């Protein structure tokens, strides 16, 4: 049967991961760590279960992000295992959707490179004559790519789109190349690329049309997805250890539980830092 373990200070937990002691206290306040037991003088006293909770959170965070990792630990600390599994299931499903989106983006962008952009519809709503490539208004382009016109204006300010101006009306009009850029930007945004990166990618595409630019962008995206998949596997291993540790701790009689569940000598140097 496990025996009583020595109490740990916030600095002890923090040192394993290069964190500050205050970060550990913050994680406890956010429900990421279970509540620490307090000694008679009010000092925090952590135990092995807290140490494993912190390892689990940091491992999960690399794969699913801070918010989702915090949700997992909060649910685990409430004893809501089904909620834990649902959150993890949603994270895996979201990553699968991103992987499928990457495949769609790769196919779409390769098709855009392989063939000239399709002539856009007339600004008035009808189809342009074959080969005329009459430009689109901002509203018509927004409808075609399924976005709000304000989004296209934001992309213009970010240097992603470069509309021309109709000489008669002064309104924005988008040529076939701008239509292609809008479609490409939409797909890249779905992959989580920031506007600055999309601008740089499209600048390369316009300047040289080099397929290697496309391949490098997609390879980087795929590498990020694969890294998150590996991190989620590591996080799952730590989570399993944490769930086991909490179950074992709950099964112990109070006299044999870790210091986090009992009282004992204080280790911190100042009650203000407890």
Count Cβ neighbours within 10 Å for each residue of 39-48 and write b for 16 or more, e otherwise: beeebbbbbb
Lowest mean pLDDT among 25-29, 130-134, 167-171, 212-216: 130-134
The CATH number of 10-93+227-273 is 1.10.1660.10
| 8 Å CB contact between 186 and 151 | no
Other beta carbons within 10 Å of 84: 21
Structural class in CATH, domain 97-224: mainly alpha
Q: What is the pTM of this model?
A: 0.63
- Residue 229 or residue 181, greater confidence: 229
Q: In which element (H, E) is residue 141 found?
A: helix 138-145
At 46, phi and psi to the nearest 5?
Answer: -95, 165
Q: What is the pLDDT of residues 245-255, one digit of tens each?
A: 988 877 555 54
pLDDT digits (tens, 9 = 90+) for 212-243: 667 787 888 899 999 999 999 999 999 999 99
Residue 132 has pLDDT above 70, yes or no: no
The pLDDT of residue 173: 93
Per DSSP, the residues of 160-204 read: S---EE-TTT--EEE-HHHHHHHHHHHHHHHTT--HHHHHHHHHH
Q: What is the pLDDT of residue 1?
A: 33
Q: How far is CA 60 from CA 55, 84, 233, 251, in A?
A: 9, 12, 9, 26
pLDDT digits (tens, 9 = 90+) for 53-74: 999 999 999 999 999 999 999 9
Residue intervals in the chain for CATH 1.10.1660.10: 10-93+227-273, 97-224
pLDDT for position 80: 94
Over the stretch 185-203, which tens digit does the pLDDT of each residue have? 888 887 778 898 888 777 7
């Amino acid at each position: 049967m496990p025996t009583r373990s020595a109490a740990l200070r916030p600095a002890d937990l923090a040192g394993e991961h290069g964190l500050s002691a205050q970060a550990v206290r913050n994680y406890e306040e956010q429900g990421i760590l279970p509540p620490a037991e307090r000694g008679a003088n009010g000092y925090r006293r952590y135990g092995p279960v807290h140490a494993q909770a912190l390892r689990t959170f940091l491992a999960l965070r690399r794969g699913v992000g801070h918010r989702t990792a915090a949700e997992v630990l909060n649910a685990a600390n409430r004893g809501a295992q089904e909620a834990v599994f649902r959150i993890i299931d949603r994270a895996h499903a979201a990553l699968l959707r991103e992987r499928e989106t990457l495949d769609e983006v790769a196919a779409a962008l390769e098709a855009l490179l392989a063939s000239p952009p399709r002539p856009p519809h007339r600004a008035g709503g009808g189809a342009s004559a074959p080969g005329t490539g009459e430009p689109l208004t901002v509203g018509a382009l927004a409808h075609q790519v399924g976005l709000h016109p304000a989004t296209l204006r934001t992309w213009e300010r970010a240097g992603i789109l470069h509309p021309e101006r109709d000489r008669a009306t002064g309104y924005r009009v988008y040529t076939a190349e701008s239509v292609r850029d809008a479609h490409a930007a939409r797909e890249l945004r779905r992959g989580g690329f920031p506007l600055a990166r999309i601008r740089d990618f499209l600048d390369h595409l316009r300047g040289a049309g080099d397929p290697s630019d496309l391949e490098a962008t997609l390879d980087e995206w795929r590498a990020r997805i694969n890294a998150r998949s590996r991190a989620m596997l590591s996080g799952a291993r730590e989570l399993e250890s944490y769930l086991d540790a909490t179950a074992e701790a709950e099964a112990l009689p109070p006299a044999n539980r870790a210091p986090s569940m009992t009282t004992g000598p204080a280790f911190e140097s100042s009650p203000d830092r407890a």
